[in-house]
Structure 1
Amino acid sequence: MRMKKTESLMLTKEFVNLMTEIDEFKGAWLALGNIAPDRLLQLRKVATIESIASSTRIEGSLLTDRQVEKLIGNLQIQKFETRDEQEVAGYADLMSIVFDNYNDMPLSENFIKQLHGYLMTYSEKDQWHKGQYKKFPNHVVATDGFGQVIGIVFETTTPLETPVKMQELVDWTVENLNKRDWHPLLVIAFFTVVFLTIHPFQDGNGRISRVLTTFLLLKAGYHYVAYSSLEAVIEQRKPDYYWSLRQTQTSLNQDEPNWSPWVLFFLKSLKQQKDNLEIKIKRERLLLTQLPNMSQTILDLLRENGRITIKELQISTQYNRNTLQKHLESLVKTNQIQQNGQGKGTWYSLI
């Protein structure tokens, strides 16, 4: 597929409206995101857990969000029994690297290979190919209930052609993100669908594609994507995800590829991601405006001190212990703070 065929995309009014709405939210993010740093950190933590859980479930994992949260809270154990756990651990490391370092990481083939290596860090069965382009065909296939292949759904790029196609894709993407002839959201949409068409790695292509999508959005200035999970949106729309991919992928070798199905799905998913975050931000602001003065005082003291006990609160506020207890329970219930320990050793901290 020659990347110059992107000229065949017709920008409909729906495409333009979606991109405009997403860009307006991008521009307003600083104002919309003006909430307490601890709450922003909590939003990012929740979004990261959702992204890891959803992206691995799209590929067949059975772990719930709660199981993923517990697992990534214990990454220091370095040993994971099941393939699902190994994939989650690798994905968690990968997202942390991208979120913390995307400003300093340029898009390149070596960078993409490094990300694949991080993804496969804990996957015992994948050590032989991690961080390397595929050596064997990896067509998308259909299987029966016993796992037997019953047909090829889509033929991916051959191993021999993969290095050339990947170099072409990366060069085109970097050039067009810099030139701005195309809207960056369209460039990222093109990159993602062509990357999945090439399927450059033996395994892990879907997960890598979704991390790269987030990486490119961050590089393009859509910084809010760290606080709302795109992977969760895709999981909820999984049939549409595969349908739109196949509709575009099967046309890429034609003189006029049909980009529209994938681009429309991509932009609608970004809009849903943005809408989800907007709802969360409004909820956060509502919580703050509805907080009683005493609850707000507790939050302020925690921001100053990091941790506090109910006895210390009594001394600072001169409030009744039972009254303070009710406010603390309410703040814990609404995920504003967390309780640590039990009995006389109980103390509270920001999440």
Structure 2
Amino acid sequence: MFKPRFGYTHQMVKLLLRIEQARALVEYIAVPPDLIQTMRREAKVKSVRYSTGIEGNPLSLLEVQAVIQKPRGCKGSAAQQEVRNYWNCLTFIDKAQRRHVPPNEAFIRRLHAMIAVRNAGRRQKSSAYRGSMPPGMLFAVRDSETGAIEYIPPCYEDVPPLMRGFSAWLVSDASGQLPTPIRAAIAEWQLLTIHPFSDGNGRTARALATYLLAADGYDLKGLYSLEEYHWRDLPRYYSSLQMNLLPHYYDGRNDPPDLAPWIIYFLETMTQACEQVISTLARGRPGLASGAK
């Protein structure tokens, strides 16, 4: 079974306390139901825009909103399909957390199956893991602009046992005893590290973290988009994921390494998002159109 490694730091504890304070305040601030509904939808639209945008989707926030408002079944570009996929995935997450669906291996493969839809027709219920590459080709994560190799994931033969160990940890008592924000941070990092699918790993990892936070009430009623805060400083997001490790999985990522740097980044980002929710609720003014890029 996967066993993450990290030690609590003073900074982590302070950030966790700030997140808990924001979580408690959301329950006590009197807010009109229509404002909550508006903010929740805006946060969901932002999650779609920025999680797909991190992977190179060119649609702006307002374009994403327009795609979502179109009737189901409308044809469109690959970028528009990607947006609809992630919207459907977040809708599924809303339902799954109300039903207390366990975040096991089957759940992760279901998330990816929704995210990776490309064409019209019958949808798959579960995604298969990536397989072997053609002779002479290397499966690697590359810089979208330069083509330089940034990460070489584990061999495809190692993916199934790694996913079994990871999903066993996700539903274990050891995982459940961790503060939920730390558990979500570790889950996102490990799924990205295993890179079990041929594509869509980033969106699936962020969707899994979103689910874990929502299931335990750390999404603040769905009023913020964590992906938006990743997007605001993409270089830091990527460098935090890398943690100065060598690019090959078997050169230190399989140990696993000390995850404290990534966890601190995740908690800092989440703290910013949560405290912005409190500020917006206090003012009573959401704003999708502001900075709609």
Q: Which TM class, normalised by the smaller chain length?
A: 0.7 to 0.9
Q: How far apart are the structure 2 equivalents of 1:143 and 1:210? A: 19
In the superposition, the TM-score normalised over structure 2's length comes to 0.85
For 1:333-344, list aligned pairs within 5 A: none
Instruction: Tell me, in whole angstroms, the C-alpha distance in 2 between the residues paired with 1:144 and 1:273.
Output: 29
1:257 Cα offset (Å):
1.6
Residues 220 and 128 of structure 1: CA distance in aligned 2, closer, same or farther (over 3 Å):
closer
Counterpart in the other structure of 2:87: 92
Q: Is the 8 A contact 2:129 2:159 kept in 1?
A: yes
Work out whether 1:224 is the aligned partner of 2:193: no
Q: Does 1:52 align with 2:51?
A: no
Query: Is residue 141–residue 152 contact of structure 1 (8 Å, CA) maintained in 2?
Result: yes
Q: State the match for 2:28 in structure 1.
A: 31
SS at match of 1:134: coil
Higher relative contact order (CA 8 A, sep 6+): 2
2:75 aligned partner? 80
The answer to whether the 8 Å contact 1:80/1:122 transfers is no
**Partner of 1:266 in structure 2?**
266
Gaps of at least 5 residues in structure 1 are 288-333, 336-351
Residue 119 of structure 1: how far off its partner (Å): 1.4
Aligned residues: 274
Q: How much has 1:94 moved relative to structure 2?
A: 0.7
Matches within 5 A, 1:319-330: none
How far apart are residue 216 of structure 1 and its match?
Answer: 0.3
C-alpha contact (below 8 Å) 1:177/1:187 kept by paired residues:
no
Residue by residue over 1:234-285, the C-alpha shift from the partner in whole angstroms, topping out at 9 and shown as x without a partner, is: 100211110011117644334x72312211110011101102211210111x
Deviation (angstroms), 1:122:
4.0
1:253 aligns with 2:254: yes
Match of 2:67 among 65, 71, 81: 71
| Residue 130 of structure 1, CA deviation | 6.8
- The corresponding residue for 2:249 is none
**Matched residues in 2 for 1:202 and 1:273: separation?**
31
Matched residues in 1 for 2:279 and 2:195: separation? 35
Give 2:3's aligned residue.
4
Task: Tell me the alpha carbon deviations over residues 134-171 of structure 1, each in whole angstroms, 9 at most, x when there is no partner.
Answer: 114642123555xxx4x421111221111111111111
Q: Which amino acid aligns with 2:23?
A: K
Question: Which residue of the partner structure matches residue 191 of structure 2?
Answer: 195
Distance verdict in 2 for CA 1:116–1:252, change over 3 Å: same
Return the index of the structure with the highest Cα Rg: 1
Deviation of 1:201 (Å): 1.0
Once the 2 structures are TM-superposed, how far is the Cα of residue 38 of structure 1 from its aligned partner?
1.4
Name which of 158, 161, 165 aligns with 1:164.
161
* 8 A Cα contact 2:112 2:126, kept in partner: yes
Q: RMSD between aligned alpha carbons?
A: 2.4
Contact 2:2/2:168, CA 8 A, preserved across alignment? no
Counterparts of 1:144 and 1:246, CA distance in 2: 18
Structure 1 contact 193–249 (Cα < 8 Å) conserved: no
State the identity as a percent. 26
1:233 to 218, 229, 235: 229
User: What secondary structure is seen at the aligned counterpart in 1 of 2:197?
Assistant: coil
Structure 1 residue 65, shift from structure 2 partner: 0.5
State how 1:109-148 maps to structure 2 within 5 Å. Answer: 109-123=105-119, 131-136=127-132, 138-142=139-143
Tell me which protein shows more helix as a share of its residues.
Answer: 1
* Pairwise CA distance, 1:66: 0.4
1:173 aligns with 2:170: yes
CA offsets 1:95-151 (integer angstroms, 9 cap, x no match)? 111123313121111111111111123457xx8997111114642123555xxx4x4
User: 1 CA distance for matches of 2:62 and 2:257?
Assistant: 41
2-structure distance, mates of 1:214, 1:144: 28
